[in-house]
A and B are shown apart, each in its own frame.
Chain A
Amino acid sequence: MTPEDGLTRREFFKYLVVGGAGAVTVALAVPLTGYFLSPTWQKSKNPSIAIAHTDEIPVGIPTFIRFEERVPDGWLVNTQSAGVWIVTPDGTNFTLFDPHCTHLRCPYYWDSEKDLFQCPCHGGEFDIHGNVVGGPPPRPLDQWEFTIENGEIITSGKIIKG
Chain B
Amino acid sequence: MADEKKGWLEERLEWKKPLEGFLYRPVPRKVGWLYTLGSATAVVFVIQVLTGLFLMFNYSPSPDHAYDSVNYIMTNVTFGALIRSIHFYTASAMVILILLHLARVFFMGAYKYPRETTWIVGVGLLLLVLGMSFTGYLLPWDQRAYWATNVATGIAGEVPLIGTWVQKLLIGGTEIGTVTLTRFFTFHVMVQPLLIAALIGAHVWMVVKNGISAPPGLMKLKLTQGKSEKQAYKEAYDASKQGGEKFFPDTLSRDAVVAVGIVAVIFILAIFFPHTSEAPADPTSTTYNPRPEWYFLFFFEFLKMFPGSLEPVAAVLVPAVAFLVLLGVPFLSKGVRREWGKRRLSLSIGGVVVVGLLIFEILGAVSAPSRQVSELTPLQIEGQRVYRQVNCAYCHTINGIGGAVGPDLSNIASQLTPDQIKAYLSNPNSMVPNTLHPKLQFTPEELDGLTAYLSTLGAAVSYTPEAPVLFEQHCSTCHMINGKGGTIGPDLSSVGSRRSATFLEAFISDPQSSVPGASMPAFHDTLTQNQITDLADYLYSLKGTTTTPTPTTTPTTTPTTTTPSAAAQLYTQDCAVCHGANRQGGIGPALTPGTLAGMSEAQIASVITQGSGPMPAFSALSASDVSSLVTYLKTVQP
Contacts and interface: CB of A to CB of B under 8 A. Distances in A.
B272 interface: no
Interface string B244-273: 001011101101110110010001000000
Interface stretch (B66-74, B135-143, B286-294): B66-74
A46 B50 CA distance: 32
Interface of B: 43, 47, 50-51, 54, 57-58, 60, 65, 68-69, 71-72, 76-80, 82-83, 86, 246, 248-250, 252-253, 255-257, 259-260, 263, 267, 441-446
A32 B77 CA distance: 11
A42 B79 CA distance: 13
Given A35-B80, A69-B441, A74 B69 contact: yes
Interface of A: 10, 13-14, 16-17, 19-21, 23-24, 27-28, 31-32, 34-38, 41-42, 45, 47, 49, 68-70, 72, 74-77, 79
A32 B54 contact: yes
Contact of A17 (B50, B77, B253): B253
Contacts of B253: 13-14, 16-17, 20
A32 B69 contact: no
Given A28-B47, A42-B76, 7 more contacts: A13-B252, A23-B260, A27-B263, A35-B54, A35-B57, A38-B77, A76-B68
Which of A35, A36, A68 has the most B CB atoms < 10 Å from its CB?
Answer: A35
A35 B442 CA distance: 27
B72 A74 contact: yes
B441 A49 contact: yes
Contacts of A24: 43, 259-260, 263
Nearest to B77: A38
A132 to B, nearest CB: 34
B248 A17 contact: yes
A31 B79 contact: yes
A35 B446 contact: no
A96 B637 CA distance: 80
29 contacts: A10-B249, A13-B253, A14-B248, A14-B249, A16-B249, A16-B253, A17-B248, A17-B256, A20-B253, A21-B256, A24-B263, A27-B263, A28-B50, A28-B263, A31-B86, A32-B79, A34-B78, A35-B54, A35-B83, A36-B54, A37-B78, A38-B79, A38-B80, A45-B444, A47-B443, A47-B444, A68-B441, A72-B443, A75-B58
B441 A47 contact: yes
A contact face: mostly helix, strand, loop, or mixed: helix
A79 B50 CA distance: 34
A41 B78 CA distance: 9
A70 B441 contact: yes
Contacts of B257: 16, 20
**Which residue, of B76, B253, B444, has the highest number of chain A Cβ atoms within 10 A?**
B253
Q: SS class of chain B's interface: helix, strand, loop or mixed?
A: helix
Contacts of A68: 441
Contact of A35 (B69, B79, B259, B441): B79
B479 to A, nearest CB: 44
Nearest to B439: A50
Contact of B250 (A13, A32, A70): A13
Given A74-B58, A75-B60, A38 B78 contact: yes
A79 to B, nearest CB: 8
Contacts of B256: 16-17, 19-21
Contacts of A16: 249, 253, 256-257
Give 7 closest A-B pairs by Cβ, nearest first: A20-B256, A13-B249, A75-B72, A13-B253, A31-B79, A75-B68, A38-B78
B78 to A, nearest CB: 4
Which of A14, A20, A68 neighbours the largest number of chain B CB atoms within 10 Å of its CB? A20
A90 to B, nearest CB: 28
A75 B66 CA distance: 9
B78 A35 contact: yes
Nearest to A38: B78
Nearest to A11: B249
B634 to A, nearest CB: 49
Contacts of B443: 45, 47, 70, 72, 77
A69 B65 CA distance: 21
Nearest to A69: B441
